[in-house]
Structure 1
Amino acid sequence: MRILFLLLALTLFNNSSAQITLEDDGLHFLTGAAISSGTYALVYSKTKNKKKAFWYSFGLSSLAGISKEFYDGNIISGKFDTSEMIATMLGGLTASYTFNIFTGKKEKKQHAKLKSISD
């Protein structure tokens, strides 16, 4: 049964244009990450609010992915490619989440150090 399933899967994937899709989805992922990184840095520098910076940066990269695919689907090729939209959104989510984890750690350490010195 496993061999049959493996042969069926290989047959299906062999006929697809996976190389082109993976390369294009990688570019969409990087674009989403770049949009999200820039937005996170800008929003956090203005507000000092990690939650707001996370949601604004993820939202803007998602909006960019959805609007680009909507434009491609309705105006250029007539095909809405959900894998490219998801790749852009995942790039934005990855960058937003990474920035959210590492932002503010230095300030917390400095605050704790100053507090221990003053005590």
Structure 2
Amino acid sequence: MLQGTLQNHAIKWRGGASACVIMASAGYPLEPRTGDVITGIDAAAALPNVRVFHSSTRRDDSGHYVTSGGRVLGVTAAADDLPAALDLAYKGVSLIKWDGMQYRRDIGRTGLEIADAKNG
């Protein structure tokens, strides 16, 4: 919620790299399916240096998270370098399940290729 108090907070930068893998619902982007029950969010979020950001989720009548649009979750990880951050983000993704989920498996590839070219 916008409060206009950013000036009251100390912001600290940390080194390393981060990566985010977006998990999308079946039918995305044209006709995203909704109402699919999502499991594993807590397990993924319990991994060290992993955060799971909700985008298109809601709770159903039973209290379960379900899909409510196309771009459902962003699984984000931080680590010392990009390869480690990507590995950790995809580890988090592997713990989350719902019918028809999809995600790209090439996230960060360009960054890795650039790093390899500089180091190689």
Q: TM-score range by the shorter chain?
A: 0.3 to 0.5
> What TM-score do you get using the length of structure 2 for normalisation?
0.32
More helix by share: 1
Between Structure 1 and Structure 2, the one with more strand by share is 2
